[in-house]
Copies of this chain bind each other. A is one copy, B any other.
Amino acid sequence: MAEPLKIALAGLGTVGVGVIRLVEANAQLIARRAGRPIQITVVSARDRNKARGVDLSPYAWEDDMVILGERTDVDVVVEMVGGSDGPALALARTTIEAGKALVTANKAMIAHHGLELAAKAEDKHVALKFEAAVAGGIPVIKGLREGAAANEIERVYGILNGTCNFILSTMEDTGRDFADVLAEAQARGFAEADPAFDVEGTDAAHKLSILAAIAFGSKIDFGAVDTAGITRLRAADIAQAAALGYVIRLIGMAETDGVDGNRTLFQRVQPHLVPVDHPLAHVDGATNAVVAEGNFSGRLLFQGAGAGDGPTASAVVADLIDIARGEVSHAFSMPVGELEALGPAETGHRQSRAYVRFMVADRPGVLAEITAALRDAGVSIESLIQKGRSGDAVMVAMVTHEGPESAVRKALSLLEGSDSLTEPPLVLQILGD
């Protein structure tokens, strides 16, 4: 059998240790499929002596992880350190500059520095791979980059954050409020002590910006993702959505707008109302799912575990097997120089139906004030419900007929500053076909 592919592993948290476990458990199978063994030769982490539940004695130890790629016993560096900058980025740069391949699960680093790293990897003719950075164990980067490569992708969207999906589906099942379910998720280890990255939508936005670049052949533009999280959702919103035939899911969605030569890129992370007969409505718990709509393939759906050490390790080692088989093709499916810089899309003209929820003071005339503003902005109401009190406020929730997003925004601007509203209105798009 051919020479082993020699791996340096940086970062020995849960997912780093998962890679060790996988490479050990499935060693024979991996060698058969890859055509040669995949062998971890050296590991590095901040603390050498921490108990991790795996035996590190078969592997060399490197104190300075940044130089892993310069070692002669290393062909590929697996970066499992995390963080968009700092040691992870330093390691990525030195590895590629040393002419070694890099595999990472680091969505933040790729969202912020992926283009720079991909350009460097092209220069050095080495692979840069990050299947595990998006949707955990689901081979969705491969699905877009290769499986759907023949298609113009019209839209890519999905459930990209398992923590949010766990919280939302638990709120749905139990009728409990956000803060309550979040606290439970934290206690049970499903959410971080500082959950902002997840529940504010940043993590999903990182992933979406990566998917968009691959789907549309565009430069990553994480900063342009219109991002909202799930923190403002109430149990009553979920109940109301259910009564109307929807579930609420945090959806990341990207598509191009405009015509060739003047294309723009729409990228949004926001809770959406998802019709119960849509495949994404049945994605529960920490599961992720991505839909890509191609002009010939039609709708493709990829679904699976979005996080966890096993699934993440599965994606990392799939990348390693590709490298062992000789793959060095472009990280974003085409050379970085050919990726288009697409400006952010105007969203005002986007046609959609929306769920709009107001918390209002319980006094006469408030409903008239709201409906007048909607009328004056040209928003047509499909259904409206006023619910009983929640504290001092009353909930007024409605679904609009299809119309431009600008109209809803105008209606809200007309109501801005009104002392009838006890908090800013909440607007959620309804996922269309």
Contacts and interface: CB of A to CB of B under 8 A. Distances in A.
B146 A322 contact: yes
A295 B26 contact: yes
Nearest to A139: B147
Interface stretch (A74-82, A88-96, A296-304, A411-419): A296-304
Main SS at interface, chain A: mixed
A30 interface: yes
A305 B279 CA distance: 13
A338 interface: yes
A128 interface: no
Contact of A304 (B25, B29, B297, B329): B297
A14 interface: no
A311 interface: yes
A33 interface: yes
A147 B143 contact: yes
A421 interface: no
B33 A314 contact: no
Interface stretch (A149-157, A197-205, A387-395): A149-157
Contacts of A150: 22, 26, 30, 313-318, 320-321
A11 interface: no
A294 interface: yes
Contacts of A304: 297-301
B217 A29 contact: yes
A333 interface: yes
A6 to B, nearest CB: 17
Interface in A162-180: none
Contacts of A329: 35, 325-326
A299 B300 CA distance: 17
Given A32-B338, A333-B33, A152 B299 contact: no
A18 interface: yes
Interface string A326-340: 110110011000100
A34 interface: yes
Contacts of A22: 150, 296
Nearest to A22: B296
Interface string A27-61: 00110111100000000000000000000000000
A253 interface: no
A71 interface: no
Contacts of A322: 146
**Range for the number of chain A residues in contact with chain B:** 35 or more
A157 B289 CA distance: 18
A139 B292 CA distance: 12
Nearest to A325: B329
A300 B295 CA distance: 24
B282 A296 contact: no
Interface in A262-307: 277, 279, 282, 289, 294-305
A113 interface: no
Contact of A18 (B18, B148, B296, B333): B296
B310 A297 contact: yes
B298 A149 contact: no
19 contacts: A22-B296, A26-B152, A30-B149, A30-B150, A32-B217, A33-B333, A35-B334, A131-B147, A142-B142, A150-B313, A150-B316, A150-B320, A296-B311, A298-B305, A298-B308, A301-B302, A301-B303, A303-B303, A326-B329
| Among all A-B residue pairs, the 10 with the closest Cβ atoms | A139-B147, A150-B317, A297-B314, A301-B303, A137-B297, A296-B310, A300-B304, A296-B314, A298-B305, A149-B321
Interface of A: 18, 22, 25-26, 29-30, 32-35, 131, 137-139, 142-143, 146-152, 217, 277, 279, 282, 289, 294-305, 308, 310-311, 313-318, 320-322, 325-327, 329-330, 333-334, 338
